[in-house]
Chains A and B, each alone.
Chain A
Amino acid sequence: EVQLVESGGGLVQPGGSLRLSCSASGFIFSSYAMHWVRQAPGKGLEYVSTISGDGGGTAYADSAKGRFAISRDNSKTTMYLQMSSLRAEDTAVYYCVKDQSGSFCFDYWGQGTLVTVSS
């Protein structure tokens, strides 16, 4: 059974930094790209970032470029999102999402971790 468990969310001041983690199990982690998708309170889903299975390729939404860094440690089956220069508009539940290889969609989602940016 695929399981994705996010951690690291919390309250942070504007301009601050936070690192999210996603622990994965139930599949061959290194064989799949992984993504972060976020959802602001009461709002819709927003794509944030992608990392390839071997970690050599990354992509970011414009809103995340230059401020967020995605990474992974396949030996620990864990993905990370390092967020810096955080703004109030980054407040959201951040979901760790598994890629459905070849279909350009998201087949398994974690339960999410809430990031609140506020003074």
Chain B
Amino acid sequence: QSALTQPASVSGSRGQSITISCTGTSSDVGSYNLVSWYRQHPGNAPKLMIYEGSKRPSGVSNRFSGSKSGNTASLTISGLQAEDEADYYCCSYARSNNWVFGGGTKLTVL
């Protein structure tokens, strides 16, 4: 199972919006509405930010939103804040109790 494709880095100014893409195949992202997104600050464990493509866990800011079109999922963060600077990973269920992650995107808040 190949990793999902994410841009290595994105950046945005405080208050702006950014979108991180996550491209898979018809065997994972395209087949299931089961993409999740995780934020990881340096030295910390990942945190679930979006699940089932667009749902937010309790406590996650509504500045975070997710969507999907075909084999590509996207995470949008609006109103960028300094605390958003982190690595972001997408993940998709890929049948037979298997999951595949993206390579990760480093978000820099300018």
A residues lining the B interface (CB < 8 Å): 44-47, 50, 57, 59, 61-62, 95, 100, 103-112
B residues lining the A interface (CB < 8 Å): 1, 3, 32, 34, 36, 38, 44-48, 51-52, 55, 57, 89, 91, 93, 96-104
Quote the shortest CB–CB distance from B36 to chain A (angstroms): 4
Given A44-B102, A104-B34, the answer on whether A59 and B96 have CB atoms closer than 8 Å is: yes
Can you name 9 A-B pairs with beta carbons within 8 Å? Answer: A45-B89, A47-B91, A57-B97, A59-B98, A61-B1, A100-B51, A103-B36, A104-B36, A105-B93
Partner of B98, one of A61, A103, A112: A61
Residues of A close to B36: CB separation below 8 A: 103-106
Residues of A close to B103: CB separation below 8 A: 44
The binding surface of chain A is classed by DSSP as strand
Quote the shortest CB–CB distance from A77 to chain B (angstroms): 19
Residues of B close to A103: CB separation below 8 A: 34, 36, 51-52, 55
A103 to B33, CA, bound (A): 10
Quote the shortest CB–CB distance from A49 to chain B (angstroms): 9
Partner of B47, one of A47, A50, A104, A109: A109
Are the C-beta atoms of B51 and A109 separated by less than 8 Å?
A: no
Are the C-beta atoms of A45 and B46 separated by less than 8 Å?
A: yes
Given A105-B51, A106-B36, A107-B57, the answer on whether A44 and B3 have CB atoms closer than 8 Å is: yes
Partner of B97, one of A50, A107, A110: A50
Are the C-beta atoms of B93 and A107 separated by less than 8 Å?
A: no
Quote the shortest CB–CB distance from B25 to chain A (angstroms): 16
Residues of B close to A47: CB separation below 8 A: 91, 98-101
Quote the shortest CB–CB distance from B31 to chain A (angstroms): 12
Q: A44-B101, A95-B46, A103-B36 are in contact. List 8 more A-B contacts (CB 8 A).
A: A47-B98, A47-B100, A103-B51, A103-B52, A104-B34, A104-B52, A104-B99, A105-B91
